[in-house]
Structure 1
């Protein structure tokens, strides 16, 4: 049984590290990194079967951050998990650093897929899950998508393929924070909504949760493992910029880091 309080504290630590590294780099994406933190924390510290000392272990579970611009949440989590020294977080987006603006599997230990071009990550995750099925492996593949990312046609091609091949070793998670680069998702492209019914119509088993409730997150992962013959999509309703009062549910903080005046407030709220 997971210690919910420990996971919540770990998520809080990761949120602080996200803001700290973004303030240091002066560029990046705080909003979507903070909204996905509880989910990523649950994956790496409770759900996934991993070995940080052997990042390429053949039988490990795989994670694909399809919304690659939220790289800070992945980097902070990998550092907390022991894939590389925490001191490296201070090199985010610097020339020569292995922590670039989007995840690179050839540079960063623990990154299973290079992502950033929206729609490609979930497609790669489908391929990983299919490979596991063909190789008769027991690993699972997890992939987080942004709700704005659902406007990419490639997402739906991948969704069709996952059902066609009965990939019950694939769990997608939509970080449904309802905000994207240019505004609120429902105003930009409302035809991707409602997300739950959309994926159900494609043949996925769908579970809807509060993406900041650790008990609901863990329960959803447990239920996903009981599903056979089809992939699972967890629609996690989240808040963009979660944890920083002036960033929460504010489209302005999709891809902007706080200046010195705002940084102190943000970090103090996350301590």
Structure 2
């Protein structure tokens, strides 16, 4: 009973806090005459006018397309390479120096090189997102696969379980908590890199629109872009939690509920 009450209060608090912050922002900014901090009502008017009009097809659709494509490619590459490096000793020995160097390299630092290599356009933006997501997912997958109980391998060997079943029925489920953690972190990083890549040598996208509004001193539109990015980040995490994390880690949630 206490567990149900605690969960209910947690949900209520998660709903009340954002609403309370919006209400505080609304009344605090209502009489604002500062051009840098326009009233929330004006921001919401700009939000509806911009993002429910031509701005949706011109900026939101390209941004979401690049985000989804880059995130999916980076996640698949990260999981595949992570499993291989985590399970194959000689490959881990060979790739560790490269992985350690690449993980320390901030993805935005590659923007000039990416522009030279891929040009200006969606390919460059997707490439930057892929690079950032790959190493977050890769490192978590390596740690997850290396942390699998060795007894599982011994049992699989004794019973002569085929390798494909070892991978799909034993290895990946055992490593799934850390893999999922990497995938969730990758979402936030992908949104950040989407914006950064669109603020450099781009002609469309939410990041491009927000930067252009700021440079043109149109701060109401700039704030509407920032609000939209926050909404996208929150929705992306919620969708991931409901449609990826919960189905994959249902057993973990059940174990935690019994505690």
- Shorter-normalised TM range: under 0.3
The structure that is helix-richer by fraction is: 2
Structure whose residues are more often strand by fraction: 1
Query: TM-score, normalising length from structure 2?
Result: 0.22
